[in-house]
Structure 1
């Protein structure tokens, strides 16, 4: 049997780092962790797309993700894993995860951490208003 202690330690460290990132971005205690009993639909859709992209060999992985470290997945590009700095750099040009329109500074954001991944969506004001209507 292969000893996986080192890999498990790296994975736990990456998960702790992900939680710290959420706190740094959103403020202490404001990040959400995924509960297997209460997963938002947008999260399920991103995970399904991520799995599909991986299965067909189409998953794009940032060259900076060379070890277990937090990766960021955008709802509008679920076939791409980014490192934190590249996600931050790409953040200014993000589009609505639902309709594809520019979001601008009024974007509604939701970030959810699960293990060593950060899942993020941006909604333009119109899509956010539609979501609130339900």
Structure 2
């Protein structure tokens, strides 16, 4: 299994590459209350076709992948996705207003300046642990956090 670490000395961002999957541009939005769901975003690029089939974290009872679908009347709603296909060499981006990770049953609220630990399991059997920085409650992405 090929392992490449893309971490800097000060942060874990752009995180890790393992099992031929690279995680980049990952972040989570701070939550207002632990009783409310939170969201996380990232880009996955796989060197071989694979599928993200499960995500866990010690601070949420359930992590699901949600897509956003818009009906013929222009009404959008979130729809849970069973697995996220990762075509070989094609980045798959989860971003605000689009596909995202939904964290439900939080045991604590996500605090700005902390990190969200995630364990991702792929159909190939590979597992990957990452830590996403938690940005402010109104953040729209890591580019806002740069000076």
Q: Is the structural similarity TM-score above 0.5? A: no
Q: Which has the higher strand share?
A: 2
TM-score, with normalisation over the residues of structure 2?
0.24
TM-score, with normalisation over the residues of structure 1?
0.26
